[in-house]
Amino acid sequence: MKKIIFITTIVTLLTIGFIYGQGCMGGGAKEGVNIAGFFQPEIEIKQTDADTSWDWGFTLRRARVAFFGDIPYDVNYYLCLEFSPFLGNPGVLDAIFTYTRFDPYVKLSVGQFKNPFSLELNTSCAGLYTVKRSEVVNKLAGPGRDLGLMLLGNYNDLVSYNLGLMNGTGMGVRDENDGKNIVGRVVLSPIEYASFGGSFKMGNSVPAGKMEDDNTITNFGGELQLKYKDFLLQGEYIMGKFEKPETAPAIDTTTYSDCSGTHTVIDTVPGDPYEVNSSGFFVQAMYMTPWSLQPVIKYEMYDPNTDMDDDDQSIITFGFNYFINEWSRVQVNYRYVADHLKADAADYRNDEILVQFQAKFQ
């Protein structure tokens, strides 16, 4: 039982540390240079067409090393590097300079870090309860990482806040307009077993063709977490609006993968204003058993355009996390995908079985 309590505490601290910090390995800087990291080899088994065959192969979802510490006085740093070639752009993930004179109430960070939006986005990749993040989080909470300036802090673990002024272009991308995104998140924990909060993002993006007027983005999210002994329930709802002005030929709706970004342009009639409203949610429940085994069930839905019918996607994830020790775990997920975006959705199959192994070091 002591082993289970210790493992549960480690996972919880990773999650809480990441909420209050921005690094992919959580907070907790010390003087000098500290090194931590993790890697996640994976087996992917996918059904990609209408027949009953499954394709499978090996991959490396993440391979990260972080360097962090305190610099006397009142400064800490965090540098996280990604080495997996499967993300498409290995390199610097986080590069954070933080002024901590008034810690924990107020801290000031500048650099490249996680966007302060969404519960699941700001859960450490080493502490996710399912192999993949929710589609609504990937699509509407992004960019996952961005460049900017942020105020953050917490008061007696009752309330934590993050308020950022961000480029809005994603990591490693120059901002090509004079506007910035304002992004924020507040989490309240009034009682031991529950926390709830909200996020917002307001700003603009350069439209396709770099026209004179920018597209505007307005996103809101709400989150809830209930934890009682070894049972945990989490849920999140996100809605977003993308607007194209009359002078732009298209709206540039930016969608993001887990840790990087790709741009998708929706072509519209030149000269016409255009608006896309999107929304979605996820809810997941898990229970830590006395045998280091944590069953997980998750339901998620994402609707890329609420003004259109039959274009949503629903995913149910069944799985479990097995903790070998406090540094290693195995995750097994079956993802049942109902994708209405496919014309032959009734016959289309794109389910997945994911087996991920994780080892952490410090």
Number of domains in the chain: 1
| Band (2; pLDDT cuts 50, 70, 90) | very low
The residue-averaged pLDDT of 22-46 equals: 81
| Tens-digit pLDDT profile for residues 284-307 | 999 999 999 999 999 999 998 888
> Domain range holding 29?
2-361
* SS3 label, residue 20: helix
Beta pairing class for 159-166 and 145-155? antiparallel
Task: Round the average pLDDT of the chain to a whole number and report it.
Answer: 83
List pLDDT tens digits, range 171-198. 887 887 778 899 999 999 999 999 999 9
Q: Judge contact between 2 and 10, C-beta under 8 A.
A: no
Percent of the chain with pLDDT over 90: 59
Residue 78 pLDDT exceeds 80: yes
Tens digits of residue pLDDT in 92-144: 999 999 999 999 999 999 999 999 999 999 999 999 999 999 999 998 998 88
One-letter amino acid of 23: G
Tokens, residue 286: 């898990």
Name the pTM for this structure.
Answer: 0.85
pLDDT confidence tier of residue 38, bands split at 50, 70 and 90: very high
Spatial distance between the Cα atoms of 346 and 351, rounded to a whole number of angstroms: 13
CATH number for the domain harbouring residue 357: 2.40.160.10
Q: Which residues contact 164 (CB under 8 A, 6 or more apart)?
A: 115, 116, 146, 148, 149, 150, 151, 181, 182, 183, 184
